[in-house]
Amino acid sequence: MDKRLERILPRVQKPARYTGGEYNQILKDKTKVDLRVAFCFPDTYEIGMSNLGMSILYHTMNSLDYVWCERVFAPWGDMYEEMRKAGLPLYALESGDSLDKFDALAFSVGYEMAYTTVLDMINQAGLPLKSAERTELLPLVFAGGSAAVNAEPMADFIDLFVIGEGEEMNNELLALLRTAKRENWSKRDFLRKAAQIGGVYVPSLYDIAYNDDGTVAAITARDGAPEKVTKRIVVDLDSSPYPTNPVVPSTEVVHDRVNLELFRGCVRGCRFCQAGYIYRPIRAKKPETLVRQGIEALKNTGHEDVTLLSLSTSDYRPLPGLCDGLLDYCESRSIGLSLPSLRADNFSMEIMEKLQKVRKSGLTFAVEGGSQRLRDAINKNVTEEDLLHTCAIAFAGGWNTVKLYYMLGLPTETDEDIVGIADMAGRILHCWRENAKNKNRGVKITVSTSCFIPKPHSPFQWEPQITREEYLRRVNLLRSSINSRNVVYNWHDADTSVVEAVLSRGDRRLGPVLEEVWKNGGRLEAWGDYFRFERWMEAMDKFGLSVPFYAERERGVDEVLPWDMIDVGVRKAHLVREREKCYASELSPDCRHQCMACGALRLMEGGKCDG
Amino acid sequence: MDKLRLRFEKTGRAVWISHLDLMHTMQRAFSRAGYALKYSEGFNPHPQISIALPLSVGMASVCEIMDFRLNGDAGLGELPARLTKVMPEGIRVTDCYEQVNKVALLKYLEITGEFEYDERDPSHMAAALERFYAQDAVVIEKKTKRGQGQSDIRPAIKEISFAPGEGLVRLHAVISAQEPTLNPALLADALRQLAPELYPDYARFTRIENYLENMEIFR
């Protein structure tokens, strides 16, 4: 171990997250590989080690015998300061080597608030921030993850983005990089060739022209780069690699458990939900595969919990059979099985009873809107009747905590809808009084609201976000409408939402803003401990950019959007249609009832959408 | 099987795993190796494992002791190798046997240490350190549950010697493990308080062996 590191560790919180050496880490002989990849997660170890995508791609990249892929996480503030004082550069956990020893830095970027941390990690690696200033081919700095569906604010800093699912694409890219390294290609030549790999977006090969009003006039691809970069997907998840021997952290992380992914995509089409659109088409794993992989992973890790992951667990058709298969193994071994993302509308008594055998946790519902009209407008197919019915069963079964999540500021929302949230909480309380088996234990109903953020590639991508002031007015309206002691109201600050709204639908001109925020100390800004709203506003001012332009302006349907070069599969015409239906408070059926021809199927050659 | 005892090493990168995380790591390692730890009865069952004399974070040991119970029988001979195979780097199980001595009888710890001096010449330090610890009393300020307190650590040191090495001074000592417990880190901290010229730039310690009152090895 590096002596500088050894001397720092006694002074920082939870040092085990900075040492590596965990069970199942992948060690290789660095003299026998052609490429060393630093897989960088722009957040803490505890968050990154809970991320299934990170775990899958760590294994797929390491499945190439000529690649050694190691993990790098962002140090928490105390460690960051100590490293700076000691002159210790950022290093990878497996080898402890600093990032200047690597051929590629691969970033997994799941959300916009991680952007400044990406910049910080590039800097901690001792590299110039801007892609154009890193003139050598190596190290290549690339990024993927769900934030890459509009990567424009990061365009100056990242050599190339991988759009969509990385299992196959990353390895194709690394194969090309290996050749380029061996044959001494220039960075320019490499990037041009890389742009020919499906799903690879090289920002420097696209020219952006702007109108006088600041909107994008045109996007022009150069040097043979595709006009549209089409998202990559894995067609058959059953045969796709799933690591049943993931790294087992030696210290507590956020989700310390086996994660089983049921399916990708979502049949629901909630109009506010970016994830519901960008992960289409729907591809499910067979329950046999999941049971086998789940048991194998439990054996290999020794975890005491297993979780079923998907955007909407209740929509997994063979769910009861899968639960039976897993419970067979789990129950006798005191292993907990948890199912997040259940829907209130088809939450079955059967499944609930099964789970009850092992562990009982609170009920959480994402209701999103306070009235049926609003829920219809956003295509959130939850009726109050279903919700109350589910709660009645749950209360009778002994549950006594319910969490309800809503968004304020959704398109078409009125004050009546907001008061409706309080009314609904009241009716759930009444439902508890009528159904609870043991009233002495009391009930706790928690209402949480956050500020709606319009996201690219969703039907609401043209919608304005409400202002901070308006959000606060709506929060206060809801606060004054809730008057029961059993109902607790939590609201998220709108500050982060404003910055997120600017970045998620931003363009390349935000690059200098990101750099400025980072220069002024911005990093790990997904954490309230480190986020500073004023720092963002000052940087926006400095470069003459405004929040209203990016966040609060309704965009024209014929406007060129900064992310129009990215094709996630779903056609724009479908998004336009869904948005129009919102204004008519008209529902769209879920994909299982009727295919709406969203367009995502064309990503699957010969495949079948499970919608 | 009841009243089993594990002896294991915790060195290298594993020294940074905290006591609580180590308990969890052990639990998972048993499960990976296919052993079923016996759980406590009750509302919130937990595996019945206990580690004698929790080690401070950052300190190494080649003589850690953990008591546990298993459901069913297991070949104790093969258990160390099977467990070691599924351990994080730096944890190695060296022995497994039925408990002989009660943990309360563990009286002394043999430790080694390395005091690193970056700017000062360590060759002169060893003798000075021995002189320092030859004093009849070494009274230091210690944080206690009730704030600051004074404590003489000298009676808790049964043997201590220093020898010069490359860029450092090696320490060898036998110290009281329980009643009173002496944290080896205090051997360096005493210098910070009383003889700053001898205080090392960095000190690391390793537990070597556990002893009974009569200096027989604790089993």
Identity of the residue in A14, A20, A303 whose CB atom sits nearest the CB atom of B13: A20
Tell me which of B72, B99, B126 is where a domain ends. B99
Closest residue in B to A18 (Cα–Cα): B16
CATH number for the domain spanning B34: value is 3.30.70.580
DSSP per residue over A158-188, as a string?
Answer: -SEEE-B-HHHHHHHHHHHHHHHHHTT--HH
Residue B13 touches partner A, C-beta closer than 8 Å: yes
pLDDT, one tens digit per residue, over A66-104 is 999 999 999 999 999 999 999 999 999 999 999 999 999
Looking at residue B123, what is its pLDDT?
Answer: 85
CATH number for the domain spanning B191: value is 3.30.70
B145 and B202: one domain?
A: yes
B28 and B81: one domain?
A: yes
CA dist list (Å): A89 to A98, A520, A530, B45: 6, 20, 21, 44
Percent of chain A's residues with pLDDT above 70: 97
B60 and B40: one domain?
A: yes
What domain count does chain B have?
A: 2
Residue type, A366: A
Closest CA to A611 of A265, A318, A341, A321: A265
**Per-residue pLDDT for A342 more than 80?**
no
> Which one is predicted more confidently, A440 or A510?
A510
Residue B90 touches partner A, C-beta closer than 8 Å: yes
**B174 located within any domain:** yes
Closest CA to A339 of A313, A305, A311: A313
Through-space distance between the first and last CA atoms of chain A, rounded to whole angstroms: 51
Answer yes or no: are the C-beta atoms of A133 and A161 closer than 8 Å: no
With H, G, I as helix, E, B as strand and everything else as coil, classify residue B117.
Answer: coil
Determine the structural domain holding residue B140 and report its residue range: 105-211
Q: Give the CATH superfamily of A3-230.
A: Cobalamin-binding domain (3.40.50.280)
B21 and B87: one domain?
A: yes
**Per-residue pLDDT for B144 more than 80?**
no
B163 and B136: one domain?
A: yes
B79 and B139: one domain?
A: no
B29/A302 touch (CB, cutoff 8 Å), yes or no: yes
Q: How far apart are CA A165 and CA A171, in angstroms?
A: 11
Buried b / exposed e across A426-445, counting CB within 10 Å, b at 16+? bebbebbeebbeeeeeebeb
pTM of the model: 0.95
Answer yes or no: are the C-beta atoms of A460 and A554 closer than 8 Å: no
Closest CA to A218 of A547, A565, A599, A456: A565
**Per-residue pLDDT for A358 more than 50?**
no
Closest CA to A487 of A398, A394, A419, A423: A423
Answer yes or no: are the C-beta atoms of A20 and A96 closer than 8 Å: yes
CA dist list (Å): A398 to A279, A432, A438, A568, B45: 36, 10, 7, 43, 21
B110 and B79: one domain?
A: no
B70 and B159: one domain?
A: no
Looking at residue A350, what is its pLDDT?
Answer: 65
**B219 located within any domain:** no
The widest CA-to-CA distance across chain A, in whole angstroms, is 75
Chain A residues within 8 A of B89 when measuring between CB atoms: 20-22, 25
Answer yes or no: are the C-beta atoms of B15 and B110 closer than 8 Å: no
Q: Is the peptide bond before B45 cis (omega within 30 degrees of 0)?
A: no
B202/A6 touch (CB, cutoff 8 Å), yes or no: yes
Closest CA to B21 of A59, A565, A53, A19: A19
**B123 located within any domain:** yes
Question: Span A477-493, mean pLDDT?
Answer: 94
Looking at residue A346, what is its pLDDT?
Answer: 54
B58/A15 touch (CB, cutoff 8 Å), yes or no: yes
Residue A126 touches partner B, C-beta closer than 8 Å: no
Question: Span A98-125, mean pLDDT?
Answer: 97
A4 to chain B, minimum CA–CA distance in Å?
10
pLDDT, one tens digit per residue, over A45-58 is 999 999 999 999 99
- Start-end of H helices in A29-165: 45-48, 52-62, 77-86, 115-124
Q: Which of residues 102-161 of B touch A (CB under 8 A)?
A: none
Identity of the residue in B21, B36, B201 whose CB atom sits nearest the CB atom of A250: B21
Q: How far apart are CA A267 and CA A269, in angstroms?
A: 6
Q: How far apart are CA A515 and CA A517, in angstroms?
A: 6
Burial class, A44, CB count within 10 angstroms (exposed 0-12 / middle 13-18 / buried 19+): buried
**Per-residue pLDDT for A529 more than 60?**
yes
B142 and B82: one domain?
A: no
CA dist list (Å): A596 to A405, A418, A485: 28, 30, 44
**B29 located within any domain:** yes
B138 and B152: one domain?
A: yes
B173 and B195: one domain?
A: yes
Looking at residue A430, what is its pLDDT?
Answer: 95
Looking at residue A363, what is its pLDDT?
Answer: 78
**Per-residue pLDDT for A360 more than 90?**
no
Answer yes or no: are the C-beta atoms of A160 and A152 closer than 8 Å: no
**Per-residue pLDDT for A352 more than 80?**
no
Answer yes or no: are the C-beta atoms of B208 and B62 closer than 8 Å: yes
Looking at residue A393, what is its pLDDT?
Answer: 83
Average pLDDT across chain A, whole number: 94
Give the residue extent of every domain in chain A.
Answer: 3-230
> Which one is predicted more confidently, A262 or A342?
A262
Residue B99 touches partner A, C-beta closer than 8 Å: no
Closest CA to A371 of A409, A419, A405: A419
B11 to chain A, minimum CA–CA distance in Å?
11
CA dist list (Å): A439 to A353, A399, A484: 20, 11, 16
Closest CA to B64 of B73, B77, B55: B55
**B218 located within any domain:** no
**B216 located within any domain:** no
Identity of the residue in B17, B27, B34 whose CB atom sits nearest the CB atom of A250: B17
Question: Span A516-541, mean pLDDT?
Answer: 97
Q: How far apart are CA A139 and CA A36, in angstroms?
A: 9
pLDDT, one tens digit per residue, over B181-214 is 999 999 999 999 999 999 999 999 999 999 999 9
B186 and B152: one domain?
A: yes
pLDDT, one tens digit per residue, over A201-257 is 999 999 999 999 999 999 999 999 999 999 999 999 999 999 999 999 999 999 999
Q: What's chain A's Rg over C-alpha atoms?
A: 24
Question: Span A425-436, mean pLDDT?
Answer: 94
